[in-house]
Amino acid sequence: MLSNYMPFVGLFVLAAAFALFSVAAAPYVGPRRYNQAKLEAYECGIEPVDQPLTGGRFPVKFYLTAMLFIVFDIEIVFLYPWAVSNEALGVFGLVEMAVFIATVFIAYAYVWRRGGLEWD
Amino acid sequence: MGASPVLDTARFDTVAVDAINAPDFSLAGITPLLCVFGAAAVGVLVEAFAPRNVRHPVQVAVALAGTLGALVACVLLAGTREVTAAQALAVDGAGLFLQATIAGLGALSILLFAERSLDPARSSFVASAAVPAGSARDRELMTAQRVQTEVYPLATFAIAGMMLFTAANDLLIMFVALEVLSLPLYLLAGMARRRRLLSQEAALKYFLLGAFASAFFLYGLALVYGSTGSVQLADIRAAGLEDSTSTLPVIGLGLLIVGLMFKASVAPFHTWTPDVYQGSPTPVTAFMAACTKVAAFGAILRLLYVAFGDSEWTWRPLVYGIAIVSMLVGAVLGLTQTDVKRMLAYSSIAHAGFLLTGVLGLGPGGTGSGLQATMFYLLAYGISTVGVFAVVTLVRDGDGEATHLSQWAGLARRSPLTAAIMTLFLLALAGIPLTSGFIGKFTVFRAAIEQGAWPLVVVALVASAIAAFYYLKLVVLMYFSDPAEDGPTVGVPGLPTTIVLAVTVSATLVLGVVPGAVLELAERAAIFGA
C-alpha cells in the first residue's frame, strides 16, 4: 500500500535536491552583472504601483475589479466540464447551462448598470 | 512501474467518462425554491433597469410574490415524498412544512422592511451603505428621503438559501445553502439607517464569526466524507456507526453540529447573537431571529435524524448538554439586560435550548414525536418573534427606536393597544397558557419525556421560570411605572406593519387556543424521506 507512494517520495527528494543544488551552485558558476531591474520584486511584467504617500492603502476599486474577475472567471470553470461531456448530458445539459449563463448575465447586467465597470 | 495503481491511466479514463451524467430532476418538487430564487433574480434585474422612483414598490411586490408563491407551492405539494436532483434535495413532509414556515415568516419580514411611515426618513435602511458614517454625504442622505431597495433581493436570496437549507439531502448542498443564506444576512445586518457604526460593527462581527463557523462545518463535512465515503445523508446513514471505535465520523459530526448550532444561536456558540440583534435594523433582526432559526433547526433535524438517526449515541449526550447550557445562559443572562433587543436576543438563545429539548424526542427506529413537536415550536416561536420585533419598531424617540428598557416605562398609558400587543407576545415567549408558546413548550417537553429525558425537562422548566421573570419585568414596567417626561412616542404604523401585527397577534392566539389543526398538520408532515 505505502509502496505505491514511493514514486512521490522519490520525486520530492529529487525536487529538494535540485533546489538545494541550484541555490548552492549559483554563486559559484553564475555571472554577476547588477542592474536596476534586478532589485524589483519581479524581473518581468508590469512594474509595481507605488504606495500612496498618505499611507499604505490602495483604492478599493482594485478589490472590486478582482472580485468581478472571480465571478466571471468561475463561469468558465463550469463551462469546461459541460463542454467535455455535452453528448452524455444532451438537451438537459444544454438547457441547464443556458439557465446558468443567464443568471451570470443577470449579475453582469447589475454590475454594468450600477457603474461597477467604470474606473472613475 | 506501469502496473502500479497510481499510474494506471486506463482506470482514470473510465472514471472521467462515467462521472458526469444528466441527473434525474423533478422540477415540480422544487417549485417553492424556484419561486424564491426566481424572485431574487428578478429583483436584481429591477435594481439594474427600473428607474429609481418606481423601484421600491416593484421590489416589494416581487419579493412578496416570490415568498407567497413559494408558500402556495409548498401547500400544493403537500404529501409529496421524493428525493430529486441526484439525491441532493429531499421533498418531504418535514421539508415542505419548514419551507412553508420560512416563506410565510419571510413574507412578514419583507412587509416590515417595506414600512415607510414610521421613520421620518421613510425607511429603516441606510440610503447608501458605502458612504462613511458621519461624513458630510452621510448627513445629507440622512435627511433625504432616498431609500435603499437592494435589501429586497438580498432578503429574497437569504430566504431562498434558508429554504434550500431545510431541503438539503447532501452535506455539500447544505453547505452551499448555508453560504447563500448567510452572505446576504451579513450585509443586511450592517444597513441600519440610524446608529450606523453599531450596525456596521454587528455586520463585521457576524461575518467574522459566521465565516469561522462555516469553516467548522466544512471541516466536519470533510471528516464525515473521509470516514463514510459519501456526502449524501442516506449513504452516511447506510455506512453505519454501530462500531463505537469509529472516532472519525463522530468528530466530524461534532464539527458539523458546531457549524449548525452557530446559525441557530445556541449557547455556547451564541456570543454574536446579542450584538448582532442589537446592531441590525430591527426588521432584519426580526427576519434573522425567526427565519434563520427555522432554517438552522431544519438542517439540524435533517442531519441528526436522517444521517445519524440510527446512531443516536453519537449525538444525544452532546445535544443534551448543549440544550442545558443554552437554556440556562439565555434565561440567566437575559435577566441582566437593559436593552429590549438584547433581552430578546437572550430570549432567542433560551428558546434554542427549548427547541433542542424537542430535537431529543427521537425514539428508536424513528419513532417519537420530536420532529413534529420541534416543527410546531418553530412555527409558534417564529410568529411571536416577528410580532415582538414589529412592536419594537413602533416605540421611537427623536433618535430612532427607543430600545432602552427604562424608555418603555409607562408605555401602557401612552398607547394601551401597543402595550397590550407587546404583552401578548411576551406571554407567548414566556409560554403562558392560551398562547402559542405554551402549546409549543408543552409539545417539545412531552416529546422529550417520552424518550426518558425528564431531567432535561426539569431544567427546562426552571429555565422557563427564570426567563418568565424578565418578560414579566417588561410587562410590569409598561403597566405599573410612571412614564418619563421626555419618553418615547409610539409611532402610527403604516399598512405593512399593521398587517404583520394583525397576522402575528391572531396566529399567536389561534395557535394557543385551538392548536389542534396545526398540531395535526405537523404530525402528518413529520416525515423525512431520505
Chain A hits for B47, Cβ within 8 Å: 110, 114
B235-277 confidence digits (pLDDT tens): 988 887 766 567 888 899 999 999 999 999 998 999 999 999 9
Query: With an 8 Å Cβ cutoff, is A89 touching chain B?
Result: yes
Chain B from 4 to 23: CB within 8 A of any A CB: 4-7, 17, 19-22
> What pLDDT, on a 0 to 100 scale, did the predictor assign at position A54?
65
> Does the pLDDT of residue A45 top 80, yes or no?
no
How much of chain A, in percent, has pLDDT values that exceed 90?
A: 23
Strand partners, B339: B404
Is any Cβ of chain A less than 8 angstroms from the Cβ of B45? yes
Q: What is the spatial distance between Cα B375 and Cα B102, in angstroms, rounded to a whole number?
A: 11
Separation CA B337–CA B358 (nearest Å): 27
* Contact by Cβ (8 Å): B390, B490: no
- Closest CA of chain B from A110, distance in Å: 5
| Subunit contact A114:B22, Cβ cutoff 8 A | no
pLDDT of residue B5: 45
Answer CATH for A2-113 from 1.10.132.10, 3.40.50.720, 1.10.10.1100, 1.20.58.1610: 1.20.58.1610
At A117, is the pLDDT very low, low, confident or very high (cuts 50, 70, 90)? Answer: confident
A-B C-beta contacts closer than 8 Å: 44
Between CA B127 and CA B324 the distance in angstroms is 42
Provide the pLDDT for residue B530: 60
Q: Confidence band (pLDDT; 50, 70, 90) for A43? A: low
Which pLDDT belongs to residue B58?
96
Choose, out of A1, A110, A113, A117, the residue to mutate when testing the contact with B (most B CBs < 10 Å): A110
ipTM over 0.90: no
Closest CA to B282 of B393, B125, B399, B404: B393
Could you tell me the pLDDT band of residue A56, with boundaries at 50, 70 and 90? Answer: low
How sure is the predictor about B446, in pLDDT bands with cuts at 50, 70 and 90?
A: very high
Question: What is the band of B24 on the pLDDT scale with cuts at 50, 70, 90?
Answer: confident
Over residues B379-397, the mean pLDDT reads 95
Looking at per-residue pLDDT, the higher value among B374 and B81 belongs to B374
**Whether B235 contacts B229, CB under 8 Å:** yes
- As a whole number of angstroms, the distance between CA A23 and CA B118 comes to 71
Contact between A106 and B44 using a beta-carbon 8 Å cutoff: yes
The pLDDT tens digits for A99-108 are 999 999 998 8
CA distance B319 to chain A (A): 39
Q: How far apart are CA B294 and CA B281, in angstroms?
A: 20
**Chain A: residue whose CA lies nearest to B49:** A113
Residue A92 has pLDDT above 90, yes or no: no
Q: Chain A within 8 Å of B49 (Cβ-Cβ)? A: yes
Provide the residue ranges of all domains of chain A, joining segments of one domain with +.
2-113
In this predicted model, which residue has the larger pLDDT, B290 or A60?
B290
Cis peptide bond prior to B268, omega within 30° of 0: yes
| Closest-approach residue (CA) in chain B for A106 | B45
pLDDT band at A65 (very low <50, low <70, confident <90, very high): confident
Q: How far apart are the first and last CA of chain B?
A: 44
Q: Strand, helix or coil at B84?
A: strand
pTM reported for the whole predicted model: 0.88
Give the CA distances from residue B232 to residues B19, B22, B82, B127, B250, in Å, rounded to whole numbers and listed in that order.
16, 18, 15, 43, 16
Q: For residue B207, what is the DSSP state?
A: H
Query: Which residues of chain B does A97 touch, with a Cβ-Cβ cutoff of 8 Å?
Result: none
**CA–CA min distance B483, chain A (Å):** 48
